[in-house]
Amino acid sequence: MDSTTPSSEFTLIDTHGFKKNKKVKRVLPDWLAKPTVVSVDLKHLEVPIDGIPELDPALVQKLKNKGCTHFFPVQNQLVPWIIKTQKHWDYRWLRDLCISAPTGSGKTLSYVLPIIQTLKTFSRHQLRALIVLPTKDLAAQVYKVFLYYIKNAFDLRVLLLESKNMTLEKEKERIVQYDSSIGWIDLVDIIVTTPGRLVDHLYYTEGFSLKNLRFLVLDEADSFTNILQNEWLHKVNDSLGSLHK
């Protein structure tokens, strides 16, 4: 063959691997394919504010003080469900929840109340709930809700991680403490934060650990869909105790 003329023939070395792959049907996970649909009608509320027996009377009183007379549907479904399943929280398949409900339908209280109810009894402070929100303002709002329901009623400590008013080093002193006989001890039970500040602590705060976490709430989770900005989720996942993943 003339070396300047390109060959128009191909030699087939192996046909293996050229088979057409069978098309796989797209399958949604069960929880997405068969969701529990909750009413969004806030005009005809069925469960009065003292109608969830699992809730501590102090929480009910605080709801009443806020002028709440009935639970919103999403709360009515979630509050008793979360409290009950937390009694068997080692059954990991029972625990994960994905909630989609319109703005103003009461999602915040649907996790704040069962978290407080579940964590209120404990032997020592341990970081057991982590709430992550996409912005500092939203984090501050949710922090205030926790504060209101905890204040003067429960011995729970909630902390807002905020880069606005505090250095990382100062904040660290409010999260963990070193005890020469025990080692690192947690100073808080609940942390409300944004992803950035959380990752800072995961990297730089010695003794900061998620291994005792029972609740991980990603509020406004749809705003966490940008994969490039979601490295923090891997970092959080790596930091969870193996039992809690």
Ligand X SMILES: Nc1ncnc2c1ncn2[C@@H]1O[C@H](COP(=O)(O)OP(=O)(O)OP(=O)(O)O)[C@@H](O)[C@H]1O
- For 28, how many CA atoms within 13 A lie in the half-sphere containing its CB? 6
143 near ligand X, rule: CB under 6 A:
no
107 belongs to the binding site for ligand X (CB under 6 A): yes
Does the protein bind ligand X through residue 71 (CB under 6 A)? yes
Size, binding site for ligand X by CB under 6 A: 12
Record the tokens describing residue 216, joined without a space: 């991980």
Sole window of 54-62, 100-108, 177-185, 189-197 interacting with ligand X (rule: CB under 6 A) = 100-108
Choose, by CB under 6 A, the member of 103, 121, 123, 242 that binds ligand X: 103
Piece of the chain touching ligand X by CB under 6 A; list 10-18, 99-107, 176-184, 199-207: 99-107
- In this chain, which residue has its C-beta nearest to ligand X? 108
Could you tell me the smallest distance in angstroms from the CB atom of residue 75 to ligand X?
A: 6
Interaction of residue 65 with ligand X, rule CB under 6 A: no
Applying CB under 6 A, does 105 fall inside the site for ligand X?
yes
Q: Does 118 bind ligand X (CB under 6 A)?
A: no
Question: Is the CB of 2 or the CB of 222 nearer to ligand X?
Answer: 222
Calculate the dihedral angle through the C-alpha atoms of 198, 134, 191, 140, rounding to the nearest 10 degrees.
130
Name the residue nearer to ligand X (CB basis): 75 or 194: 75
CA distances from 156 to 49, 127, 139, 197 (A): 23, 10, 18, 22
The dihedral formed by the CA atoms of 186, 191, 197 and 202, expressed in degrees to the nearest 10: 40
H-assigned helices in the chain: 30-33, 57-65, 73-86, 107-119, 136-150, 168-175, 195-204, 231-239
- Taking CB under 6 A as the rule, does residue 47 contact ligand X? no
Side-by-side strand order, sheet with 190-193: 158-160, 190-193, 129-132, 215-218
Using CB under 6 A, list all residues that contact ligand X. Answer: 68, 71-72, 75, 101, 103-109
